[in-house]
Amino acid sequence: MHFKQLTAVPILLALAACNPQTTSSTASWVSAMNNRAPTETTIYVCHAFGCQLKYGYRFTKADLAKLKRILRAGSKNPQAERKAIGNAVAWFEKRVGPIIGSDKDKGGLDMKNAGVPGQMDCIDEASNTTSLISFAQKHGFLKYHKVQSPVARGYFLDGRYPHATAVILDTENNERYAVDSWIYDNGVFPKIKPLKDWMAETPSRG
pLDDT single digits (tens) 36-75: 999 999 999 999 999 999 999 999 999 999 999 999 999 9
Which amino acid type is present at position 112? K
The per-residue pLDDT for range 108-120, each reduced to its tens digit, is 877 666 777 889 9
Closest-CA residue to 180 (of 152, 155, 158, 200): 152
Q: Residue 190 gets which letter from DSSP?
A: P
> For 125-145, what is the mean pLDDT?
97
- Looking at residue 24, its pLDDT comes to 65
Least confident of 30-44, 86-100, 121-135, 153-167: 153-167
- Looking at residue 109, its pLDDT comes to 72
> For 180-192, what is the mean pLDDT?
96
Residues 131/45, Cβ–Cβ less than 8 Å = yes
Q: How far apart are CA 110 and CA 124, in angstroms?
A: 13
The pTM of the full predicted model, rounded to 2 decimals, is 0.85
Which amino acid type is present at position 118? G
- Looking at residue 31, its pLDDT comes to 86
Residue 11 has pLDDT above 70, yes or no: no
> For 133-153, what is the mean pLDDT?
96
Q: Starting at the edge strand that comes first in sequence, how are the strands of the sheet with 175-180 ordered?
A: 145-153, 163-170, 175-180, 191-194
Residue 144 has pLDDT above 60, yes or no: yes
Residue 25 has pLDDT above 60, yes or no: yes
Residues 189/87, Cβ–Cβ less than 8 Å = yes
SS3 22: coil
Residue 152 has pLDDT above 60, yes or no: yes
Cα angle: 205, vertex 184, 166; to 5 degrees: 75
Residue 161 has pLDDT above 80, yes or no: no
Q: Quickly state the pLDDT bin for 5 (edges 50, 70, 90).
A: very low
Rounded alpha-carbon distances, angstroms, from residue 146 to 34, 68, 129, 160: 23, 16, 13, 28
Residue 159 has pLDDT above 70, yes or no: no
